[in-house]
Amino acid sequence: MSDLARATGVGEMDSLQHHFLLATPGMDGGFFSRTVTYLCDHNPDGAMGLVINRPLDVSTLEIFEQLEISVSDSMRHHNVLLGGPVQMEHGFILHQGDQSWDSSIRVADDIWISTSRDILQAIAQCRGPERFVIALGYAGWGPGQLEGELARNCWLTVPASSDILFDSPTEQRLSQAAQRLGIDIDLMFSGVGHA
């Protein structure tokens, strides 16, 4: 066990990879206010995730045009998400499927994260995964940082659900993830500051 794992009480078996982080009222007012973040990686060296409920005013079509990727007429356009405050010029694709693309990393049994152009080209031509999320930027934490925020009750955690991640409307993802914990997140926020 590493010194970090001993100090924080978080070991390899306590990884929150493939979990949702739900911002609590303690995060209100900052970048993560009312967000749900999907954790793609969590280990003693830190954590990395994508915010999945903050759509940008950008569509996949605009991304493909900017990257000069030809688009099939039958391709459905999706909103692109603001994945986090780090490297917002970089794109990340969360997706399901058993095909490994040029730079895909398995997050869970049926969920991968990719950053390669080939998957974007396949999506644009309706040959890619059916279920996917495209985000610009990511959320990152250094060693022990996320554990400290968890100790200060900045986040609630719940095992991730593919249905919420890929199928739920973005504006419902936070409340649906909180419901998995038996919590009405709107009541939680409306009670802040009241005696």
Cβ(178)–Cβ(23) below 8 Å: no
3-state SS, 82-149, equals ECCCEEEEEEEEEECCCCCCCCEEEEECCEEEECCHHHHHHHHCCCCCCCEEEEEEEEEECCCHHHHH
**What is the pLDDT at residue 151?**
93
Q: How many structural domains are present in the chain? A: 1
Structure token pair of residue 35 = 């967000």
Whole-angstrom distance between the N-terminal and C-terminal Cα of the chain? 43
pTM of the model: 0.86
Query: Tell me, what's the pLDDT at 13?
Result: 42
**Residue 190, domain member (yes or no):** no
Q: How far apart are CA 143 and CA 159, in angstroms?
A: 21
Any idea what the CATH number is for the domain that residue 34 is in?
Answer: 3.40.1740.10
Residue at 187 is within a domain: no
Give me the pLDDT at residue 188, please.
Answer: 77
- Residue 186 falls within a domain, yes or no? no
pLDDT value at position 12?
42
- Residue 142 belongs to a domain: yes
Structural domain contains residue 13: yes
**191 occurs within a structural domain:** no
**pLDDT value for 194:** 41
pLDDT value for 99? 65
Q: What is the mean pLDDT of each run of 10 residues along the chain (195 residues)?
A: 36 78 86 95 96 93 89 84 94 84 87 91 89 95 95 94 95 95 82 47
* Predicted local distance difference test score (pLDDT) of residue 1: 31
Residue 132 structural domain: 3-181
